[in-house]
Chain A
Amino acid sequence: KQEVTQIPAALSVPEGENLVLNCSFTDSAIYNLQWFRQDPGKGLTSLLLIQSSQREQTSGRLNASLDKSSGRSTLYIAASQPGDSATYLCAGPSGGGADGLTFGKGTHLIIQP
């Protein structure tokens, strides 16, 4: 069954920096991967969905990549802003005959003004 790991667990950077969040997964048969943002006490907001055939997906200052062969995905945030402070979660299909998503534990990001 799929296992998803996110590194680092927490990250604090000054405003304006470019940063990369990492996500690794064990099932290389993954057909897509989804990145979410979660603000404290709130639900999940979908940021990007990458299909295995796409390798990359962009939305504004966000760019996500997917490399099935290495079992890795990255979320690149350009020119970070204090409003980007949140927990970022990656998730992939659970696989192994199970439905639903398997989530990483998230990266808690703080952007210092």
Chain B
Amino acid sequence: DGGITQSPKYLFRKEGQNVTLSCEQNLNHDAMYWYRQDPGQGLRLIYYSQIVNDFQKGDIAEGYSVSREKKESFPLTVTSAQKNPTAFYLCASSYREFYGYTFGSGTRLTVV
């Protein structure tokens, strides 16, 4: 079955450490997105990519970085510059906005 796979499900980060969240899709979708979800704040867009080797900042890109070397993959790195990284991270993809979005199962990141 086609879908989006996010890994790991849970991730723990020490202060000053960079961590990378994986997102893989087999839907042949062109566009991929990363959202952050915090209690009471809803989902906020971090980065998105509409095509391989190109990506754009979303509303809250500071402290994050991404790459898009393959159509299927869009990893997110949470850097030490992100001061409050504890959150639930969701990856999404879309063939065209007209056809809607598909989301992964999420990664919960906790700073220890």
**Interface of chain A, main secondary structure:** strand
Tell me whether A18 is interfacial, beta carbon within 8 Å.
Answer: no
Tell me whether B50 is interfacial, beta carbon within 8 Å.
Answer: yes
Question: Please, how many angstroms separate the alpha-carbon atoms of A101 and B103 in the complex?
Answer: 12
Of A43-51, A66-74, A75-83, the stretch lying at the interface with chain B is: A43-51
Q: Which residues of B contact A63 (CB under 8 A)?
A: none
Interface size class of B (residues with CB under 8 A): 20 to 34
Question: Please, how many angstroms separate the alpha-carbon atoms of A94 and B45 in the complex?
Answer: 10
Question: Please, how many angstroms separate the alpha-carbon atoms of A89 and B101 in the complex?
Answer: 13
| A contact residues vs B (CB 8 Å cutoff) | 31-32, 34, 36, 41-46, 49, 51, 89, 91, 93-94, 98-101, 103-106
> What are 15 pairs between A and B in contact, CB < 8 Å?
A32-B98, A34-B101, A41-B88, A42-B106, A43-B104, A43-B105, A44-B92, A45-B103, A46-B101, A89-B43, A91-B43, A99-B97, A100-B48, A101-B43, A101-B45
